[in-house]
């Protein structure tokens, strides 16, 4: 049975709302409607996952929050976004970063000619600290990512995929974010690396109090680290609830976890032409 909207709201009211998306609509190039009334909440210091297939609108939701829509000729045309009680959908990306929201963009975008430590230092100048405590922040970051300490004099362009993912996350952490927006951190990585990276995410959340909004197609790991989750389809949120409820839901098991009602594994080819059941709508 789907989680009711009132139940979802009650769960989220139990913590202070750091980020609130209120029925937002996003259009690209003044023509292409991508998000259609998306609402979600991230509580202070919480990890929330955003699930859905390719093209569902997950990355667009993150860019609407971080202000990066403006770099791709997209804009929020209806609804509003609030962070710590301040409306931010009308602000520039650099102002949003200074408020404490930092997005780790999908694709591990690095300054590939710089050393690892030079790349990290740039992150320290973007955030709320504005480079005032770079040495201290580096020590903190190396504590979470000891492999980067060993590689600090190496060129970023020669790092492996897992090392690059650690670097972009560490660079974001250098900015002292209140809220980190993580876009597909497990993409293309081996299972052991995925486990390591999500373990670090949990540590950062627990020890630094950093809230995380996680976009991830790997629903298994996403629902293990998150406390709450939203499922997107065709630009809308169609389902949400505590992570434990999502893990137990038959629709989620079948489409996102690849399990039948009997617990049998199903191939993606068998379920990729998914049509949500009527009970999802409401």
Of 177, 210, 225, the one marking the end of a domain is: 177
Q: Which of 28-32, 95-99, 235-239, 261-265 has the lowest mean pLDDT?
A: 261-265
Query: Is position 158 within any domain?
Result: yes
User: Could you give the CA distance from residue 48 to residue 8 in angstroms, rounded to a whole number?
Assistant: 13
Round the average pLDDT of the chain to a whole number and report it.
Answer: 84
Q: pLDDT tens digit string along 102-115?
A: 999 887 777 788 99
Of 159, 177, 195, the one marking the end of a domain is: 177
Whether 117 and 89 map to the same domain: the answer is no
Whether 208 and 157 map to the same domain: the answer is no
In this predicted structure, what is the pLDDT of residue 257?
A: 58
In this predicted structure, what is the pLDDT of residue 112?
A: 81
Residue 123 structural domain: 103-177
Query: Is position 282 within any domain?
Result: no
Of 160, 177, 194, the one marking the end of a domain is: 177
Whether 166 and 35 map to the same domain: the answer is no
Structure tokens at 69: 């829509």
Whether 135 and 19 map to the same domain: the answer is no
In this predicted structure, what is the pLDDT of residue 15?
A: 53
Whether 9 and 95 map to the same domain: the answer is yes
End-to-end CA distance of the chain: 12
Q: pLDDT tens digit string along 208-257?
A: 999 999 998 788 889 999 999 999 999 999 989 999 988 888 777 776 65
pLDDT at 6 over 80: no
Whether 153 and 93 map to the same domain: the answer is no
Write out the H or E segment, with its range, that includes residue 193. helix 191-208
Query: Is position 25 within any domain?
Result: yes
Query: Is position 212 within any domain?
Result: yes
Whether 160 and 215 map to the same domain: the answer is no
Whether 87 and 170 map to the same domain: the answer is no
Q: What percent of the chain has pLDDT over 70?
A: 83
Q: Which residue has the tokens 């991830």?
A: 216
Query: Is position 80 within any domain?
Result: yes
In this predicted structure, what is the pLDDT of residue 247?
A: 84
User: Could you give the CA distance from residue 268 to residue 64 in angstroms, rounded to a whole number?
Assistant: 30
In this predicted structure, what is the pLDDT of residue 230?
A: 94
In this predicted structure, what is the pLDDT of residue 7?
A: 38
Whether 145 and 26 map to the same domain: the answer is no
Domain count, the chain: 2
In this predicted structure, what is the pLDDT of residue 191?
A: 87
The CATH number that applies at residue 203 is: 3.40.50.300
Whether 121 and 216 map to the same domain: the answer is no
In this predicted structure, what is the pLDDT of residue 178?
A: 95
Q: What percent of the chain has pLDDT over 90?
A: 57
In this predicted structure, what is the pLDDT of residue 252?
A: 76
Query: Is position 12 within any domain?
Result: yes
User: Could you give the CA distance from residue 87 to residue 21 in angstroms, rounded to a whole number?
Assistant: 10
Query: Is position 243 within any domain?
Result: yes
pLDDT at 119 over 80: yes
Whether 263 and 193 map to the same domain: the answer is yes
CA count, 13 A, side-chain hemisphere, 273: 2
Whether 9 and 94 map to the same domain: the answer is yes
In this predicted structure, what is the pLDDT of residue 47?
A: 97
Averaged pLDDT, 172-183:
94
Query: Is position 53 within any domain?
Result: yes
């Amino acid at each position: 049975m789907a989680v009711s909207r009132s139940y979802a709201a009650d769960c989220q009211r139990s913590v202070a709302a750091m980020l609130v998306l209120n029925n937002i609509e996003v259009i690209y190039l003044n023509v292409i409607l991508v998000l259609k009334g998306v609402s979600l909440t991230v509580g202070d210091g919480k990890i929330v996952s955003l699930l859905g297939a390719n093209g569902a609108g997950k990355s667009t939701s993150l860019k609407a929050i971080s202000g990066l829509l403006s770099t791709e000729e997209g804009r929020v045309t209806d609804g509003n976004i609030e962070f710590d009680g301040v409306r931010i959908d009308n602000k520039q990306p650099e102002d949003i970063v200074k408020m404490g929201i930092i997005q780790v963009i999908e694709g591990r975008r690095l300054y590939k000619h710089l050393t690892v430590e030079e790349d990290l230092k740039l992150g320290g100048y973007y955030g709320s600290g504005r480079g005032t405590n770079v040495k201290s922040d580096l020590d903190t970051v190396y504590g979470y990512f000891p492999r980067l300490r060993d590689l600090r004099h190496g060129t970023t362009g020669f790092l492996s995929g897992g090392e690059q993912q650690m670097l972009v996350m560490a660079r974001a952490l250098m900015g002292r974010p209140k809220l980190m927006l993580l876009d597909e951190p497990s993409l293309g990585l081996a299972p052991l690396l995925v486990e390591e990276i999500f373990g670090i995410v949990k540590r950062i959340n627990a020890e630094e109090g950093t809230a995380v909004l996680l976009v991830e197609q790997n629903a298994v790991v996403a629902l293990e680290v998150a406390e709450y989750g939203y499922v997107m389809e065709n630009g809308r949120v169609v389902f949400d609830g505590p992570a434990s409820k999502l893990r137990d839901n038959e629709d989620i098991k079948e489409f996102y976890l690849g399990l039948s009602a009997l617990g049998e594994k199903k191939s993606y080819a068998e379920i990729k032409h998914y049509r949500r059941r009527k009970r999802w709508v409401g």
